[in-house]
A and B are shown apart, each in its own frame.
Chain A
Amino acid sequence: MGKSLIVETLSAFYGKQQILRHVSMTMPEHQVTTIIGPSGSGKTTFVRCLNRLHETTPNAHMEGSVWLDHQNLYELDPIIVRRKVGMVFQAPNPFPTKTVYENVAAGLRLNGIRNKSIISEQVEKSLQLSSLWNEVKNSLHQPVWNLTRGQQQRLCIARALAIEPSVLILDEPSSTLDPLSALKIEELVEDLKSSYTIVLVTHNMQQAARVADLTALFLEGELVEQGSPADLFTRPRDKRTEDYLTGRFG
């Protein structure tokens, strides 16, 4: 299912303010690419360009291209793009008026799937993948409020996986969770990379070092350096990377 995501000279703007400057990078399939950088460095804007969410903000626009499976995502219908590139947000955002089951089924229903047995099957599969099934299998038709925040976030992962995207973006998915829940998400990311291209934004450099196959550092809207975490963290090539890692930046 996973396919490499290739970004070419991506720039993003809010009004006249430029948030990203000519970012080019490849996020290989079956690998976890982590995006690190201080707040305001453009990490979130970058990933919001990958599923064309950036352009839904008033006055926002972008330049450049994003390729997935030999297709420029910016030449496709954005609705189609978002079904290929799933996203999990910083804070858990399950639909509050829907049950656990209906949250996971939401994307399927948007795709026009009406067959009950297909939906049930896919809901169970997605909840298994996000290792939530055992915790919710007896409360599928309960409201999502009964879940802990960590469970809610895994529910959001299941919701994103249910429509079988090629790419899964996680934008600081564990930053608002307690340490144990955060660890669970991290383990999950490791499990999922065999089937998806994973892009993980994180504040936490230890986390980046633990789960990443490839790490990219963003500073002030620029991609400063990318490489394996071992290289980037121990032998930075760019002076700014070194400054950031040693705490002199951001």
Chain B
Amino acid sequence: MNKFRKHDSDRLFAGALLSFALILVLFIFVIISVLIERSWKSITTFGFSFLTGQTWNPLRHMYGSLPFLYGTLISSLIGLVLATVVGGGTAILLTQFNHLRFVKLATFLLDVLATIPSVVYGLWGLFVLVPWLRNTGEPFLKATLGFVPLFSGQVWGVGLLAAGLILGIMMLPTIISVVRKLMDQVPQELQDGAIALGATRTEKVRMVVLPYARVGILGAVFLSFGRALGETIAVTMVIGNSPTISSSLFQPGDSLASVLVTQFLEASTHLYLSSLYEIGLVLLIVAVLFHSVSKFLVWRVSERARIA
């Protein structure tokens, strides 16, 4: 009797859990199907040229999303490079060259950094970073690296570089904390093995710590990139909101997330609104695609390591 009762309660519980899980599945299905349904007019009107079109001009009913794709990828890439170099370096410093008091302070500051809302980053970007870039940063880059197309042309302040820098700063706390955890997991015996061979701390990091943690670091980097792709408000405030593709990082641009949030209220025609829905769909696809590719890469690297 007792046995039966237990069994029944298990079934009830499992059933309840299953229904929660089904709601989740349904939810994903609803989101995707609504996006497709609402963007259907745009999809049928423009077809593939929605992705390759370089002109976004609602007045002339031209909707090409390439400038936004470009702006999203480039600004995220800038942020990624910045966050990986600075964040990776900070994580190495905190785990390998640790002076206890400094580590505590840095940990506290990183926690603070992680809790700052993105709109505050955007404000800071708009009123501090952008003027600095306009008056000091970009003129300096132009004077020293101006022969590279990336750092040429007119200086604006707002633009892809500003968006990338803000994204980089926003990604830092995540990258640092993940990389730090990964480095803490490198077995002490391995590190001692390198030290006992006469390695300096720097050599130990290069020889043992980084190779051991590389798969995880790759994962952390991809994770952050995925987040940067969808980051909206801070990017909107500093990217310049101009649907143009320019080889110069100083030029204003726009991102998929940013154009959605800035133009939704202005969308007066069905086609306009439908195109914005398709932007949302594209963003979702890019994010999912990227997530899958990164999962696959991490899986392949770790699989190789496992076989090896």
Residues of A within 8 A of B (CB): 51, 53, 56, 58, 79-80, 82-83, 86-87, 89-91, 93-98, 106-107, 110-111, 143, 145, 156, 159-160, 163
Residue of B nearest to A95 (CB): B208
How far, in whole Å, are A178 and B155 apart by their CA atoms in the complex? 69
Residues of the A chain whose Cβ atoms lie less than 8 Å from the Cβ of B214:
97
**How far does the Cβ of B271 sit from chain A's closest Cβ, in whole Å?**
55
Tell me if B's interface is mostly helix, strand, loop or mixed. helix
Cross-chain pairs A/B with CB under 8 angstroms, 21 sampled: A53-B192, A56-B195, A58-B98, A83-B198, A86-B197, A89-B192, A89-B193, A89-B196, A90-B189, A95-B193, A95-B207, A96-B190, A96-B305, A97-B211, A97-B305, A106-B197, A106-B207, A145-B308, A156-B193, A159-B193, A163-B198
With contacts A95-B207, A95-B208 taken as known, whether A82 is within 8 angstroms of B193 at the C-beta atoms is no
B203 within 8 A of A: yes
CB distance from A95 to the nearest CB of B (A): 6
Nearest CB in chain B to that of A169: its residue? B196
Contacts A95-B208, A145-B308: A79 and B198 contacting too (C-beta < 8 A)? Answer: yes
With both beta carbons as reference points, the residue of chain B lying nearest to A96 in the complex is identified as B212
Nearest chain A CB to B178 CB, angstrom units: 20
Known pairs A110-B198, A160-B197; list 4 more (Cβ under 8 Å). A83-B198, A95-B208, A111-B198, A159-B197
Q: How far is the CA of A87 from the CA of B189 in the complex (A)?
A: 12
Q: Are the C-beta atoms of A97 and B203 separated by less than 8 Å?
A: no
Q: A82, A86, A94, A145: which contacts B195 (Cβ < 8 A)?
A: A82
Interchain CB contact under 8 A, A107 and B189: no
Q: How far is the CB of A164 from chain B (nearest CB, A)?
A: 12
Q: In the complex the two chains form, is A80's CB within 8 Å of B308's CB?
A: no
A160 engages B194 (CB within 8 Å)? no
The answer for the CA separation of A106 and B197 in the assembled complex, in Å, is 8
Instruction: Output the least CB separation between B213 and chain A (Å).
Output: 10
The complex places the Cα of A159 from the Cα of B193 at a distance, in Å, of 10
Q: Which of A58, A86, A91, A159 contacts B189 (CB 8 A)?
A: A91
Smallest Cβ-Cβ distance to B200: which chain A residue: A79
Report if A53-B195 is in contact (Cβ < 8 Å); known contacts: A95-B207, A97-B211, A106-B207. Answer: yes
A residues near B200, Cβ cutoff 8 Å: 79
Using C-beta atoms within 8 Å of the partner chain, give the interface range for chain B.
20 to 34
Bound complex: CA A156 to CA B212 (Å):
18
B199:A87 contact, CB within 8 angstroms: no
Residues of chain B lying within 8 A (CB to CB) of residue A91: 189
Smallest CB gap from A89: residue in B: B189
Of the candidates A94, A110, A156, the one whose C-beta lies within 8 Å of that of B203 is A110
Q: B residues 171-189 with Cβ under 8 Å of A?
A: 187, 189
Q: Contact flags (1/0) for B207-245 with A, using CB distance below 8 Å?
A: 110011010000000000000000000000000000000
Chain A residues positioned under 8 Å from B208 (CB to CB): 95
Asked whether A58 and B308 contact (CB < 8 A) given A95-B190, A95-B207, the answer is: no
B196 near A160: Cβ-Cβ < 8 Å: yes
> Hey, which chain B residues are within 8 Å of A156, CB to CB?
193
* B196 to A, closest residue via Cβ: A87
Cβ-defined contact, B192 with A93, below 8 A: yes
Residues of B within 8 A of A95 (CB): 190, 193-194, 207-208, 211
- Report how far A89 CA is from B203 CA in the complex, Å: 20
B100 on interface, CB distance cutoff 8 Å: yes
Q: Chain A residue with minimal CB distance to B193?
A: A93
A51 to B194 alpha-carbon distance, docked (Å): 13
Separation of A160 and B195 alpha carbons in the complex (Å): 11
Give the chain B neighbours of A58 by CB distance below 8 A: 98, 100
Of B189, B198, B203, chain A has the most CB atoms within 10 Å of the CB of: B198
A10 to B271 Cα, complex, angstroms:
83
Cα distance, A68 to B28, chains bound together (Å): 70
Closest to B306 in A: A145
The answer to whether A110 touches B197, judged by C-beta atoms less than 8 angstroms apart, is yes
Closest B residue to A82 using CB positions: B198
CB neighbours of B100 from chain A (8 A): 58
The answer on a CB contact under 8 Å between B212 and A97 is: yes
CA distance A204 to B195 in the complex (A): 27
A159 to B192, CA, bound (A): 13
Residues from 102 to 131 in B contacting A, C-beta threshold 8 Å: none
Q: Which 5 A-B pairs have the closest CB atoms?
A: A97-B211, A143-B308, A87-B196, A83-B198, A82-B198
Residues on A with beta carbons closer than 8 Å to the beta carbon of B192? 53, 56, 89, 93
Cα–Cα distance between A143 and B203 once the two chains are bound (Å)? 21
